[in-house]
Amino acid sequence: MGPSTEVAAFRAAMQDVLRSFGALNAEQTPCGQTLPIGHAHALQVLLHAQGEVDQKHLGAALRVDKSNVARLCARMAARGHIEVHSGTEDGRRRLLVLTARGKELAAAVDASSRRKFSQILNNIPEDHRGNLLRILSVLADACRRDAFVSARQDAGDGAEFVANASVGEAGDGAEFVANAFASNSKKNTKEEEL
């Protein structure tokens, strides 16, 4: 198989996975929650956070730029899912906290995500699962490297970009999607395109 055939096969396989998974639905998560995928991932990051999360770190975890994470946080706050506070030491720092409503929704998203990934995993023969997880890790690393290189090229040497942000605990559905389908957020200016 030549390089162009390999690229075409890889592209087709990735597109099939994204489409089959339901990642292209702008108003519903693949696990059936009625909210945009970026919103669901932000809830997951905040739910699993060890301590406070600021807007900058949320953007790094989701791999979206400053303006997109600001718009996402504004929508989440408007829906009553988060509260936004200024930092005590640095008033420009925006601290994010799940509201009671946000915690409830985040827990529901987490449960439905775990169910969805369990169902998919049950469709994969047990003797293939270890290889699949290793291959997905390699794919996630390749996506992060590509996103890092693209961001550096787009922004120049002064770019502030966090390529290796941790999203959540190993095996978490949010981590899978965020890592496996990481992309250069400058090319995706709308949350729905994530």
Domains of the chain: 7-193 (1.10.10.10)
**Contact criterion met (CB below 8 Å) for 41 and 174:** yes
Q: How far is CA 168 from CA 47, 61, 136, 179, in A?
A: 9, 9, 16, 10
pTM check: above 0.85:
no
The tokens 């290793």 sit on which residue?
134
pLDDT: which is higher, 42 or 194 = 42
**Contact criterion met (CB below 8 Å) for 32 and 112:** yes
Task: Starting at the earlier edge strand, list the strands of the sheet with 53-54.
Answer: 53-54, 94-98, 82-86
**pLDDT tens digits, one per residue of 30-71:** 999 999 999 999 999 999 997 779 999 999 999 999 999 999
